[in-house]
Structure 1
Amino acid sequence: MTVTEEAGLQHSTDGAGRRRFLARSFSLLGAACLSRESSAAAWSLLADTKACNQEIDVDIGDIEPGARLDVDWCGFPVSIIHRTEAMLASLETLEPGLLDPQSAAPQQPDTCRNRSRSIVPQYGVYVGICTYLTCYLTYTPAKPEWKGLWPADFTGFYCACHGSRYDLAGRVLQGVPSKLNLVVPPHRYVSDRVIHIGPGTAEA
């Protein structure tokens, strides 16, 4: 091999190495930027819900066990779930696969810092927006790929955009893009069948 060929080979090898280095660097930079964007979106969502001044009363008396009612609050979709005893029992069963089963992150009022993330266990009240990049969630039956972790008849929240999943208490699963549980809006019970959602509560 001539000196010219050796130099060309060295140049080619160095160029390939630089390209690999740059590719890895931009990949890491992109991941870091997305992580910061996700964190900013999640905390902005929490701040926006805390800043909401709208107050609404919702009649929950006609929600059948196992069903849900969706309402609009400050432009946020809020799902009110009437959980059955089987649904409540599943909350403990699923905890080993959850990222924050004890609700350590401040995504809910103190009155809802419990396993069911609710004031009354049978009724869960959650903002139906993903805490990853604030996509709207669907409330869906278990998917085939959830087999082994979710009971066959289980329903929960699912983000079709990036695949984040949450249980019936709005707690995020491990191994999905989102790292925070769903937001629980401030609310209180006016009566056995009426929930007041908004800042005019003990836990605003």
Structure 2
Amino acid sequence: MSAQHTIPGNTPDQHESFTPHPEDPVRRRLLLATAVVGGGGLIATAVPFVDSLTPSARALAEGGPVEADISQIGPGELKVIEWRKQPIWLLRRTPEMLASLKTDEGLLSDPLSEKSIQPESCANIYRSQKPGLAVMIGICTHLGCSPVLKPAGEAAGLGADWPGGFLCPCHGSKFDLAGRVFRGVPAPTNLPVPVYEYLSDSVIRVGEKVA
């Protein structure tokens, strides 16, 4: 409730309504100026609020899908693109890499990806639409670091029985070549798989179209 203001010398009686004299030009100008300023203040306050509810062209662009050429990714190679300011891994898996996904299930926390994020089209052992190409968000599900690809074997520094996968350099979380998390590490879930689709045999699109 706004406070009532009075002008000295014109204090209204408690039992009478107070009406400014219609011939007082100073009073009329004062009331008019107050109304204009007050109305302008309401408009100035409302406009930024409306703008905040309208997505900018930049926001739409950043959230939109991105396309990637996968034709030049060689066997065993990892390509990184960016979508929504996140690294997206494109890993061309060899037959040996694919075979490891069937032998390491006993070492994994969620081998069937029941507690993890992936599109329905990737709800399989490979967590991909086509076994040969893995598409994952390269951010550890523990505290957001980016894991590093470590090949199979003792050369990776993880022991001779290491089947190949990813190691988070921050706190030691390990993931296999489908992004499935190993047991006994800080990361709680598998690496997320974004929505993606094949536009051709050599091009994929990551992300959904923005309406």
Partner of residue 58 from structure 1, selected from 57, 68, 90: 68
Point out where structure 1 has 5 or more consecutive residues left out of the alignment: 1-51
Whether 2:134 is the aligned partner of 1:121: answer no
Partner Cα distance (2:84, 2:96) in 1 = 32
Whether 2:122 is the aligned partner of 1:112: answer yes
Whether 2:193 is the aligned partner of 1:180: answer no
Higher relative contact order (CA 8 A, sep 6+): 1
Question: How big is the shift at 1:136?
Answer: 1.7
Partner Cα distance (2:204, 2:191) in 1 = 19
Sequence identity percentage: 44
Give the TM-score normalised by structure 2: 0.66
Partner Cα distance (1:134, 1:68) in 2 = 19
Question: How big is the shift at 1:106?
Answer: 3.7
Contact 2:89 2:135 in 1 (8 A): yes
Contact 2:116 2:189 in 1 (8 A): no
Task: Give the match for residue 79 of structure 1.
Answer: 89
Give the TM-score normalised by structure 1: 0.68
Partner Cα distance (1:103, 1:145) in 2 = 24
Whether 2:162 is the aligned partner of 1:144: answer no
Question: How big is the shift at 1:88?
Answer: 0.4
Task: Give the match for residue 191 of structure 1.
Answer: 200
Partner Cα distance (2:201, 2:101) in 1 = 23
| Matched residue SS, 2:100 | helix
| Matched residue SS, 1:162 | coil
Task: Give the match for residue 44 of structure 1.
Answer: none
Partner Cα distance (1:173, 1:147) in 2 = 16
Contact 2:126 2:178 in 1 (8 A): yes
Partner Cα distance (1:93, 1:121) in 2 = 16
Aligned length: 146
Please provide the CA RMSD for this pair.
Answer: 1.6
Question: How big is the shift at 1:193?
Answer: 0.7
Task: Give the match for residue 163 of structure 1.
Answer: 172
Question: How big is the shift at 1:163?
Answer: 0.3
Question: How big is the shift at 1:107?
Answer: 1.0
The structure richer in helix per residue is 1
Question: How big is the shift at 1:184?
Answer: 0.4
Alignment of 1:44-55 (within 5 A): 53-55=63-65
| Matched residue SS, 1:87 | helix
Partner Cα distance (2:72, 2:201) in 1 = 11
Task: Give the match for residue 18 of structure 1.
Answer: none
Q: 1:137 to 1:200 in 2, by over 3 A?
A: same
Partner Cα distance (1:87, 1:159) in 2 = 19
